[in-house]
Amino acid sequence: MFKIDDELKEAISRIRPAMVATANKGGQPNVSPKGSVRLLDDRHLLFADIRSPNTIKNLRENPYLSMIGLDPTSRKGWRIWGKAVEIATSGDLYDQLCDQFKDKGALNHVVKVIVENGITF
């Protein structure tokens, strides 16, 4: 079972936005920027869906995803591979991100991701 180490936690917290890659059940890819990626605990990340209907549609068909964050100045970054385990439209996690992103517009969903592997580079 993969655990997010301190180096990866620091990189995820510092480097934004992340690009989230998904694919539908037929394999058609979609990539969407997410400035909302947050650490939940040693195994999970969260991100908000504000305007990403294809990301949510894909995750409902195929829950696997990859995320990458890259600092263009230093060329340092992070990457994770994981699986969406919850797509919430209410509840504590949803409310927390609603408070953080209320100035960005309506929050449609909060996606909870279990990290299956990850690296910094």
CATH topology of domain 6-120: Pnp Oxidase; Chain A (2.30.110)
* pLDDT at residue number 72: 94
Q: What is the number of helices (H) and of strands (E) in the chain?
A: 3, 7
* pLDDT at residue number 104: 64
Burial category of 45 from C-beta neighbours within 10 Å (exposed 0-12, middle 13-18, buried 19 and up): buried
Mean pLDDT by 10 residues, the chain (121 residues): 97 97 97 95 95 95 98 96 96 87 80 98 97
Any idea where the domains of the chain sit in the sequence?
A: 6-120
Residue type, 17: P
* pLDDT at residue number 105: 67
Note whether 21 and 67 are within 8 A (CB): yes
